[in-house]
Structure formats: structure tokens, C-alpha cells
Chain A
């Protein structure tokens, strides 16, 4: 027989257990997607985004007028139902979606578009996104053309104008919440620096699925700040994370052997692994080396001598594609199909070297003045893929008597050498390419550009072929005719293949891992590969309520 005090204690215990179970049930019914950011986001202002973490948050929270569908690679209307580019890329007219509200309930109107464009193009903002619209000096005119129509007019034609709006998250002109009022599927819930960013479902998100259910399906997204890839992988294995958005080939293979259903290889990405030689006029190089690096035949010979298939097979474990030029196979429209990959044939390399005045002297290659062919190639320290790539290239070139000295430097020293002191001979670098459109590569191909890596900031083009590339790039950027633009850029790709200012080695595949719990995943080669359709992702097993 239970005493009164025992009965009270028993009831209390039952009550506590019931509460705990209720809590557990509530926790399990909330659908939360979890993945990692490498570093803290530098800003939550979508117009000031420059780093990957801030970019991820802008993508998940920001509402844009036009969105590039990462899967189909086509533009789709989001906040704009229709748009029209006119005046040769100088003007764009939007028809806005009616009834859209910011996350705080403020209505979305044409005034918000005008406000956003004004802030974006304000030089004091120093917005990198704004810079991509800045084709010429002069004001940008934005005006409401009716209740739900906006016209934006630029002082000069803007290349791929509509596509550029994929990065412009709309801000509210009237909301007291400022940039915290968003139009994307999620809004910022909580941020603990160095620990996590929590994004909550935007209750006013405008999109619905085919059955009329309000999107997004997820209640929240938790982005843990985690720099250590090993820990990230460990947490993924334990089920504490749902996505690992970017994996290197080694981690991919390791995970693949343990969780074959979780890994995703979405094929070649837009990124490049590339080598270029220093061709800067006043670089601190011996004259004979400057002559080598400026010789088209020498660069072509080096390019031909690198066995790209071995790089793909050994360094990237098959998770890459041998590159033929500046456009990846993932970029279906802009790739020039006429380009052929480097043959790697020994006779072709020897013929090119001979034509450039090089010959064998014993086991070493020498130039016509008897200088032994030896040069250094720098890359960033700690990057295993780069170190292995260089080790393979070293042996590839040794076949022809070329001595390659591999130098690994910390990244700031490397950047200092290639962009300020120009005290280097050759460099192996990875280029991250976010955009399909060739206009995004203007800063590399224009001879006057700071990122024209092999010989930047030229006052006048140093070579006739660079002058031709300049003309073609300007022409393609100024044209709205896609077919014409393609013709121009195909020619650029052909010149680059012939003159080899950059040696394109491989396009690494877009590798990621997704928990089988996550539904509606459609991996794409373009970033963000896995969560590009975040508003439609679901966590399996959790009940998605009708909203």
C-alpha cells in the first residue's frame, strides 16, 4: 500500500515523464535541416555579401526578382512574374508578383525594388554585387511604372543583365526590421558567433507547391560554424548533420565506402584548376625566362606534356574532368564543342619545344642560348590536391628534361607574389566559378583587368591575340543576341586554346553528401549544389503540417 507522500512523488514522476515525452515529441516533429559553414558569415546584409558563408545565408533568406534554376540552368521568375531586357542590355522592365509580403508582414512593392537598387548602386556601399552592374559611370534610374511594374535603366549596357539579378536580394523600403525583413524561404532566427546560425521558416513566404501547400517544408535550418572537415564528416556519419555541401575526392571516397547511399557526385563543376606563367613586363625574372614564358610554343608544349588523364585518375580519384578551356562541361550552352583536350603525346611536345628553339643536352632540356630549362611553380601550402598535382606535373615534365621546382607557400604570400610583387615564375591555382555566363569572366580575359592573371593591368594589349580577346569579350558583353554572344565567346575559347595563356588542367566534380533522410534533393553542378531548392527539401519521417 502506498503512503500519501509516495503517491504524490509517484504522480510528480509521471507528470515529469509526460512533460519530457511531450518535449521529445515536439522536438522530433520539428523538421530542421543541419549543415556546416566553414566560417562565420561576415555580413547579414545581402547587398554586401562577398564570402561563402554570407552567400549561403543570402541564398536561403533573400528573395530575388529572377532566379537561375541550378538544375535546368534556365532563368525563372521569382518576385518578378515577367521581365524584358531592352535597349541593348541597358534597360530591364519587371512585372512584380502581386500579394507578396516580407517576413515581418510588410507588403512588397515597386518602391522596395527602387530602394534596393539605390542602395546597391550607392558607391559608398562598396557592394561587390553592385559592381557587376557597373558597366559605365553614371546614375542608375529606377522607377515605378504602375502598381506592380518597375523599370531599371543603366548608363551603359550590362552583360547578362537578367542573370545578374539572381544575386540581388530585395530589401524593404518601409520595414522597421531593415534587412532582417526578407522575402526568401527562411529568415534569420538566431546567431551565436562561432557556434551556429539558425534560420527559421519565413511564415510569409509566397511560394506554394503544386498541391497548394505553403513552402518551405522545413521549419528551420541550422548552420553550424565548423572549419574542421574531419569533424564535419564525423558529425555527418553520426547523423548530426544532413548535408556536407562540398567534399574533396579523398573524403568522398572514404564516405562512399561507409555510406554509399549518402554520397553524391553531380559531375564536373564550373571550377578550374589552372596553371599560368608570369608574363608581366617588369617582373623580376631573368630575360631568358621571360622569353620562355612569352613563347606560345613553350606554353603549349608544357600544356601538352601534362597528362590530364592521370591527374583525374590519381589526384581526383576519377572525380574530375580533364579541362579543355575556360568553360566546364557543366556549362552546357557556353562550352565550345570544337575544342580538343591536350593530346599528351611526347612527339607533339618535342616538336613544339624544338620549334621554340629548345633542344636536349644530355638528360636536360636547354634553350638556344644553352640555359637549362628549370623553373618553379608555386601553390598554396596544405592543399593536398595541389601538392599531388604538382608532383605528377614534375614527373611529366621531367620526361622532357625540364626541371620543375615545387614551392608551397602560405596563401597570403602566394597572393602577394602573383598580384603585387610578381615575383614568381608559374603558379597552380584553383578558380571558383559561380556564374555560367562568360561576362562573369570579363575580369580575367580583358587585358586591362586586375585579374588578367598572367599579365594584369595592361594599358594597351601586349599581344595581338589579347587585343582580339578584348574586342570579342566587349562585343559579347554588349550584345543581347545569345547566338552572337556564343559565337564571340567560342572564338575566345579557341584563342585561349591556341595561345595557352592559362593551362586548364581539370574541372573537379561537385561532390557532396546528403543524408537519406533528406527528401526532394536534386543535386546540381552549380552552387549551392544540394540546397539550391531549399524551399522544397523535406526531412523524411517528420510530419509536414499543412500550412
Chain B
């Protein structure tokens, strides 16, 4: 691990630790509205000022980081597992099954994600708490985000299945089960890890995009996506640069994940 990657890991660690310790670090609850201090500048009490409803931006950033940083990896894990199951099986079994999965993946990728999310979200029960709603949002992202990784995993599996060492193992009479567990899966691990790391920033950004459309995490729970909506007012950004904090944190986290991803890439290669 290079120095840069160590720094990236440290930044990510601090971000995760701060979000987990939000209750200790934040001076006010994230949902409390200080209606006489709307859009207030940073102060001793409000380190990043308040938003347009008078809520403590620093507190919301910490809790929003918790939401985005904990749930995005969970969604990425779910997407990678589904992709491994479908893509891996297709690559391993080959033939009709592979053609069927490839066509299915192409069809799934051609679907307009946003409309699919809108439709699914509209079908959800209305009386879900904000926490449940955010979990459902990321669950949906995870369930819908498997197709692109599945394609990569299918290709990787196919390549491995046709590789000399597997052909030789197979010719030596190694059972299909042992072939899969002892030879194929360990060699697929770098691809799976790479897909997992790639999916995390993707889901963070997807939630941010949904937040921009007002369809992300529901009030009063904060998320990076919801907080990024404040940046739509660009003149407010110039006058109150501290509202850039969630954007800076998002860029930093995504950048750190990319830096760490290089390690996994190099392993994969």
C-alpha cells in the first residue's frame, strides 16, 4: 500500500469514525429547527452554519455521512453478490444459460433506471419511517445495480474457465464442485472486490442524484444527496462557501475509494 493509499484509508477512517460518533460530536440534533437562526453563518454553536430551515449543517453532515457511508457499501455488497451469482453462473455454465443471461443483462442495462426507481418507490407503503425508507432506497439501488458487474464477472469467469490450468485440472479428473470452490472462486476474488469498490461511489452518487430530484432519503433524515440540493443556488454558494462541505466530503470519499481501488485493480491484474 502506497503512502497516498494510506492517507486515503486514514481519511475514510476519520469520516466513518466521525459519522459513527455523530451523537458525541454534534452539538444539536440533526432534525432540530432553530427557526430564528435560518441560513446562519458558521459560529461556535453551528460550526458549518445552519440550513434554510435553521438546522445545524455540521450535525446533518455527520449523520448524512453515516447514512451514505454505511448504506452505500451494503448496497454495493448486495449488488456484487447478485452479480456474482448470475454472472458467475453464466460464465461457468456457458452455452444457452450464458446467452440467456447476457441478453437479460443487456435488457436490464437498457432500462431507464430512474423511472424504474420512481415506479418501485411509488409502490412502497407510505408509512415507513425515514430510517426504513433510506434502507429501502439503498436496497433498491443494490437490487438494481447488479447488471454491469454481472457482465464483468461473466467475462472474467469465462476467461478462467477456458484457461489452461482449469482445463488441465478438469482433464486430471477434478470434480466440478472442487473446480469451482478451489480454483475458480479464489481467482475471481479480485474481480469481485474491484466490482464491489467501484459500486460504492456509484451508489453514493446515485443516492445523491435521487436526493437532487427530491426522491432520496426522506425528511428529516439527512444524506449527502439531500444536502447537495443546497448547491442548486449557486449565488448562495458564493456567499456561503461552507455549504460546499458535503460536496467536498463526497469528492474526498469517492477519491479515496478510487485510490484504494487501484490496489485491488493491481491485484486483479
Contact = CB atoms under 8 A, between A and B. Distances in A.
Interface string A376-411: 101001111001101110110000000001111110
Interface in A385-443: 387-388, 390-392, 394-395, 405-410, 413, 423-425
B215 A391 contact: no
Nearest to B216: A408
Contact of B31 (A310, A375, A395, A408): A395
Given A394-B220, A407-B126, A424-B126, A383 B214 contact: yes
Interface residues of A, number: 31
A394 B53 CA distance: 12
B122 interface: yes
Interface string A186-204: 0000000000000000000
Nearest to A310: B35
B49 to A, nearest CB: 15
A425 B125 CA distance: 11
B218 A407 contact: yes
A382 B235 contact: no
B227 to A, nearest CB: 13
A346 interface: no
A288 to B, nearest CB: 13
Contacts of B236: 254
B25 to A, nearest CB: 23
Interface in B96-118: 118
Contact of B214 (A382, A395, A424): A382
A374 B122 CA distance: 20
Given A314-B35, A391-B219, A391-B220, A409 B233 contact: no
A405 B220 contact: no
A238 to B, nearest CB: 15
Nearest to B39: A314
A281 interface: no
B126 A257 contact: no
Interface stretch (B64-72, B127-135, B151-159, B243-251): B127-135
- Chain B: interface secondary structure? loop
B265 to A, nearest CB: 37
A395 B215 CA distance: 20
A15 B213 CA distance: 56
A413 B214 contact: no
A291 B220 CA distance: 27
A280 B229 CA distance: 36
Contacts of B38: 314
Contacts of A122: none
A408 B229 contact: no
B258 interface: no
A425 B38 CA distance: 30
Contacts of B215: 381-382, 408, 410
B33 interface: yes
Contacts of A424: 126
A314 B37 CA distance: 10
Contacts of A413: 118, 122
Contacts of B126: 376, 378, 405, 407, 423-425
B94 interface: no
B218 A314 contact: no
A384 B219 contact: no
Contacts of A405: 126-130, 218
A407 B216 CA distance: 10
A392 to B, nearest CB: 7
Given A254-B233, A374-B127, A376-B126, A392 B214 contact: no
B264 interface: no
Nearest to A250: B233
Interface in B52-73: 52-54
Nearest to A309: B35
Nearest to A254: B235
A81 B218 CA distance: 57
Given A250-B233, A314-B53, A391-B53, 14 more contacts: A258-B235, A310-B35, A314-B38, A378-B126, A381-B213, A381-B214, A384-B214, A384-B229, A388-B52, A388-B53, A391-B33, A405-B128, A405-B129, A413-B122
Interface of A: 250, 254, 257-258, 310, 314, 374-376, 378, 381-384, 387-388, 390-392, 394-395, 405-410, 413, 423-425
9 contacts: A250-B233, A254-B236, A376-B126, A378-B126, A384-B214, A391-B33, A395-B32, A395-B220, A406-B130
Interface of B: 31-33, 35, 38, 52-54, 118, 121-122, 126-130, 213-215, 218-220, 229, 233, 235-236
